[in-house]
Structure 1
Amino acid sequence: MATIQSKITNGHKYWYIVESRRVNGKPRPVVLEYLGKADDLLKRLQGLRDSLKLKSYSHGLVAKLLQVASELDICNVLNGFVHSSKEYTAEKPIRNNMTAGASLMLVAIGRACVVTSKNGWAQWARTTSLEYLLRTNFSKVDSQHFWDAMDAFPVEAIESAERQLLENTLRHYNIKMDSLFYDTTNFYTYINTTNSRCHIAKRGKNKQKRMDLRKIGLALVVTKDDMIPLFHHSYEGNMNDAKVFRKVIEKIKNRLEAIGADTKSHTIVFDRGINSKKNIELVESLGMKYVGALTPFHHKSLVEEASTRLEETVVNGKTIMAYRTFTNIWGRDMTVVVTISDKLKEGQIRGIHTFLASCDAAISKINRMLSNPNSKKTESRGT
């Protein structure tokens, strides 16, 4: 709680707004605002109406995220695994009056609110009520602050910390886990070619078309309704999706069992990039239920069969065209649903119109060239 206190300097009394805070575990008076002499303060108050300035701060989202972080005990969980290997730092270092766990939590809150770099985090934070809510100052928080916090958190502890946080989440919230979505993505980086410390950044095809840069892959398993991540795996950027799936599917099952989930009552859903005979056999050998996707090109007869048998079906209040059958896929009888994606259909139609428009433009250009025998292009072709 803030109080107004005075201090006499050179025979003059000056007033301050002071608050007691803990600094390195000890209570210390912290000056929040210098008010000056009584006469100066009176003049400021009298002229307040003319000189009043207002500034707004983003509050709701950061306040709610801090509340959730407190409920899940994120700081204490992370700090329980912090162990700095640097000789010149404490085992559990504190930087800018913040523990490593608190720093990691805050950078996660920042990423949940807005996409910003670690170096730009403090600038963003000062547009919110975080400094007020945490009773601290972020003026010295830079990218090095977060790098030091990350460096103090052992890589081998990530899985255990993730599992503990997930267990806390399931205790506090009713998370439905009957349907789980698995997917992969990748991110290009600016890690130098000569950097041999990072082993998973590899060159390969990526969605951003930056094949000249080293990239890192990320596999995620999330719940259907709330998109709560239950499992993650970072992997080499040049690994294909099917190979990654074979590497992690057993780990996914182990994670589900570790948090008390019955894998026989859960269904894991993955796209056609994962689907293969070997992967299906592996999932079935683990006793897991699954939903995959097939490539229409490899099942033309099934598509032709469905084209005349599509029926209107209501799914989540939306009417779609679908065909359901039971057929043999890769030597095993499976239920197959063929449906038309309106979004994909619209995109394909737009692509066709775009292609036709480019063809019309090319034909018009040729006609203009042919109609003008004096043009340079026409002469160069001997027309």
Structure 2
Amino acid sequence: MVGKRVNGRTYYYLVESARVSGRPRITAQRYLGSAEDIAAAMDARGPVPEHTTHLAFGDVAAVWATLERLQLVPAIDEAAGLRRTPVGRYFALAVLHRATAPGSGLAEWWAGSAAARFVRPRLSADAVRDEEFWRVTRRLTPSQLERIQDAVADRLGCADPIALAVDLPNFATYAESDTAAAVLSGITAVVTRDGAIPLVSNAYRRGEPDVVPFGVAVDRLARRHRGTVTLVFDTGQHAQLDLDAGLPFVGALPPADYPDLLAWPASARRPVDPERFPGLTALDTRAYVSGANRRVVLTHSARLHAAQARSFAQALSSATRQLDGLALALAANPNRRPREELLTEISRITRVRWVDRVLTARLTGTKPGELRLESRLDEAARARLDQEFFGKQLLVTDRDDWPVADVITAYRARYHLDSTFRVLNGSFVEGRWNEHRIAVHSLVTVLTTAVTHLMRREADRAGLDLSVRELLDQLSGIGETVLRYSSTGGRPRTRRILTRRDATQQRLFDLFGLAAYAP
């Protein structure tokens, strides 16, 4: 231990010495403080921090670890072909930011996260700004953006030759403000069967006359993907598609159009996979769809059933209260509203999904002062609704060789993708938008979705069944606390520690190797 005299006070250092080139040299030293500091430490009473700062760590470090493992920065730089422009660095920053703090600006997020401590190469705070990102990416051409996405897809390591093609017409809404004219954007994407990881995609403006139809867009994306593609569509989209066009498909049908299938008893269904799909049963049969005998799978989810029953009960209660209030008003007060106006009001109240099946309203009288309202709840119809509709989905496919679980997995990929896009984009995206910026923003969203879906798949394979939102929420709970101590004559001292982790957070900490990024 050696002491150094500073401004009349002595401060002590713990040093290690060794011979270097034959001469004794100090090879390491650790600041201990003044004699009072050392005495306080010996008495187990250390200095109290002057203040603390909390930084985002777990989610930021996990996403960055994934980006480093994928070597995303050099892959993007090589695909862009711009030697002196750090395109890869800024796309990596944009993905990291979008995954962990999509509702904030780049500078705000950077200041509140631990990223500056481990992101390499080091970046100054002035370099991490939205304006700088748009400056770096402003000259990228559509072909360069396409090559960037293809390069990242190659790094994802998704070996399954069979991929899924989905179309999401409500991908994002772009506007300068919530009162300005908006641009509605959709997206067609090819994703993996396992994890719904986007590989290639094409964003488009809804309502434009030159919008490429879903089937044509899928053909183009399939050529970029260089593999077999199965079309996945939602209820309503099947009417726009030719199921005999040659593309394999998995899609949803309106259950109400097939009452005979809905009438099958629960005993006809079998559990799908208790581990992958707890509470899900299915009936695997055939029916005539679009003029041909096709394979259909009727599923019933206990979780969906409970959610729909709860939502319906709330809607029915609201409609009943409104009708009762209207009936009391008609009976207590002289009514001057014409009959047609009241009928329109009643129709508005009952015209809610499924409510009009069980709740009927009868308006008697002809003159305004004589009009009275009676309503009736059909309990038998309510029971049929609960038995025949709640919790059920009807899927159709020409993949006759796929197990039921694979058919359901393929269809649900669309919802996993849509759910993540909503998390990353919100209800609408505010900013100054043109065609180029929308294309770049769309690519960042797709790349972020690919990275986070890859992380979710890794967690799932490790036994952690989490959605992307749940995964990032768990990781964001691992924070970094910076403790700043006041100066005792030298530099102010800083200590960094991580917050306490629960069992799930510790498993994720180990899974993504966060110890390498910890302070």
RMSD in angstroms over aligned alpha carbons?
A: 3.9
1:121 aligns with 2:123: no
Q: Which has the higher contact order (CA 8 A, sep 6+)?
A: 2
Deviations 1:172-201 (A, max 9, x none): xx6556563624133111159xxxxxxxxx
1:80 corresponds to which residue?
A: 78
CA contact (8 A) 2:80 2:148 kept: no
1:237 aligns with 2:224: no
Counterpart among 276, 285, 289 of residue 325 in structure 1: 285
**Cα displacement (A) at 1:274:** 3.1
Aligned to 2:235, what secondary structure does the other structure show?
coil
For these two proteins, the number of residue pairs brought into alignment is 297
Q: Which amino acid in structure 1 is aligned with residue 69 of structure 2?
A: E
Aligned to 1:249, what secondary structure does the other structure show?
helix
Aligned to 1:65, what secondary structure does the other structure show?
helix
Equivalences for residues 284-303 of structure 1 within 5 A:
284=246, 288-303=247-262
1:312 corresponds to which residue?
A: 270
CA contact (8 A) 1:75 1:102 kept: yes
1:281 corresponds to which residue?
A: 244
Residues 1:361 and 1:212: Cα distance change in structure 2 (over 3 Å) = farther
**Cα displacement (A) at 1:382:** 4.8
Deviations 1:78-103 (A, max 9, x none): 223446xxxxxxx6555xxxx22201
Counterpart among 160, 163, 167 of residue 147 in structure 2: 160
2:451 corresponds to which residue?
A: none
Q: Which amino acid in structure 1 is aligned with residue 182 of structure 2?
A: L
1:251 corresponds to which residue?
A: 220
CA contact (8 A) 1:325 1:335 kept: yes
Write the distance in 2 (CA, Å) between the matches of 1:112 and 1:231: 19
Q: Which amino acid in structure 1 is aligned with residue 251 of structure 2?
A: G
Unpaired segments ≥5 residues, structure 2 = 1-32, 41-45, 338-367, 371-519
CA contact (8 A) 2:334 2:369 kept: no
Write the distance in 1 (CA, Å) between the matches of 2:242 and 2:96: 36
**Cα displacement (A) at 1:350:** 3.5
CA contact (8 A) 2:234 2:252 kept: yes
Q: Which amino acid in structure 2 is aligned with residue 256 of structure 1?
A: H
Counterpart among 137, 142, 166 of residue 182 in structure 1: 166
Aligned to 1:232, what secondary structure does the other structure show?
strand
2:296 corresponds to which residue?
A: 336
**% identical aligned pairs:** 19
Residues 1:51 and 1:299: Cα distance change in structure 2 (over 3 Å) = closer
Residues 1:365 and 1:67: Cα distance change in structure 2 (over 3 Å) = closer
1:101 aligns with 2:60: no
Equivalences for residues 1-383 of structure 1 within 5 A:
49-50=47-48, 52-82=50-80, 92=83, 94=85, 99-117=86-104, 120-133=105-118, 134=120, 135-170=122-157, 176=160, 178=162, 180=164, 182-184=166-168, 185-190=170-175, 213-238=182-207, 244-257=213-226, 261=227, 263=228, 267-276=230-239, 278-282=241-245, 284=246, 288-304=247-263, 306=264, 310-317=268-275, 318-366=278-326, 368-369=328-329, 372=332, 382=369
**Cα displacement (A) at 1:42:** 7.1
Aligned to 2:280, what secondary structure does the other structure show?
strand
Q: Which amino acid in structure 2 is aligned with residue 66 of structure 1?
A: W
Aligned to 1:49, what secondary structure does the other structure show?
coil
CA contact (8 A) 1:81 1:154 kept: no
**Cα displacement (A) at 1:339:** 2.4
Write the distance in 2 (CA, Å) between the matches of 1:273 and 1:158: 32
CA contact (8 A) 2:189 2:221 kept: no
CA contact (8 A) 2:80 2:147 kept: no
Deviations 1:55-94 (A, max 9, x none): 34333332333333233222222223446xxxxxxx6555
CA contact (8 A) 2:190 2:201 kept: yes
Unpaired segments ≥5 residues, structure 1 = 1-40, 84-90, 193-207
Residues 1:211 and 1:360: Cα distance change in structure 2 (over 3 Å) = farther
Residues 1:340 and 1:152: Cα distance change in structure 2 (over 3 Å) = same
Q: Which amino acid in structure 2 is aligned with residue 63 of structure 1?
A: A
CA contact (8 A) 2:153 2:200 kept: no
Deviations 1:147-166 (A, max 9, x none): 11221322221222211221
